[in-house]
A = this chain, B = another copy of it.
């Protein structure tokens, strides 16, 4: 499948950072879903940047829909999103040297594609390709919301500064996050994080962080055993996002240090519904949703593009070389990646819900 993911609802990505366009095809989405262009634009805006914190690349990121929408509603056939690159082939990003940028895909792409890949700005490996995920994700989020399923992510930590975690019922927290440009639950954390980003910017360096995502309203019984469990399919999707190096569900790595008696979430009946008292499992048991909020945390490495001098290798000459980047680069992408995560999770869940309940399930 390569640049595609999903079985019933299928996302296919295309484009290069400084080619003509980036975009996506979303196939299998149910017919009749209202396409809210303002919401798409809002999501694209969240992905782009927060003034002062991010790269000043100011693409308008207007999403053109070439197919799959008729009279403002999805048709059920493939929806094609195209976002043109306005700063196409600009001098700033034009790859002027054959020195591989550390922690980027320059070297691995060079080996895999034998030097034919578009090298400018990371080409097909650029974070810019996530614009297609966000455009498609806007439809997926709309469809889920109509079913009472909401998705939200916050910056659990950035450069060592922590936000407070989601509560056991994060429904209202998800709602609050949707209007925030810098997604934290505790606003004082935002200030401290912003300081860290600006410090890194000043130093020509970069920072990473952890995003915590929650899904509320997902019915129990969704997901398949073994390799199509929710953890498997979500992790596959999330690790597809550039810079992700770790994924954990519920209490994740912390569970490894707990005893079973503390880690096992007790079941209980409340108002005729089966719940768990704690949610160390993150809403998933045996790969299948248990009706509790789905919780996933994603580690984002620091942006690889930094202005400090770096040791590297000239791929054409095959010899050691020093690299000094110029141009515009984000000192952090964690706060921008948040909407990519929401979108990716929403698309995967649409797929799982349609596999489970049929292709009409998401119809209004």
Contacts and interface: CB of A to CB of B under 8 A. Distances in A.
A289 to B, nearest CB: 7
Interface string A66-106: 11101001111111101000000000000000001011110
B12 A25 contact: yes
Interface centre among A70, A112, A250, A289 (most CB of B within 10 A): A112
Contacts of A293: none
A66 B20 CA distance: 5
Interface centre among A237, A267, A311, A320 (most CB of B within 10 A): A267
Interface string A215-250: 000001111111111011101110110101111111
A22 to B, nearest CB: 7
A282 interface: yes
A32 B116 contact: yes
B227 A237 contact: yes
Interface string A289-313: 1100000000111111110101111
B12 A260 contact: no
A188 interface: no
Chain A interface bracket (under 10, 10 to 19, 20 to 34, 35 or more): 35 or more
A157 interface: yes
Contacts of A2: 10, 27-28, 78, 224-228
Given A109-B288, A288-B108, A103 B265 contact: yes
A172 interface: no
A286 B114 contact: no
A108 B290 CA distance: 6
B269 A113 contact: no
Nearest to A237: B227
Interface stretch (A43-51, A134-142, A146-154, A356-364): A356-364
A205 interface: yes
A4 B27 contact: yes
Interface string A187-212: 00000000000001001011111100
16 contacts: A13-B78, A21-B67, A103-B265, A104-B285, A108-B290, A109-B225, A112-B288, A210-B256, A232-B240, A235-B239, A239-B249, A245-B281, A246-B247, A246-B255, A247-B247, A260-B306
A274 interface: yes
A319 to B, nearest CB: 6
Contacts of A66: 14-15, 19-21, 23, 82
A118 interface: yes
What 7 A-B pairs are tightest by C-beta distance, nearest first? A105-B286, A246-B248, A206-B260, A31-B116, A108-B288, A111-B221, A358-B358
A251 B254 CA distance: 16
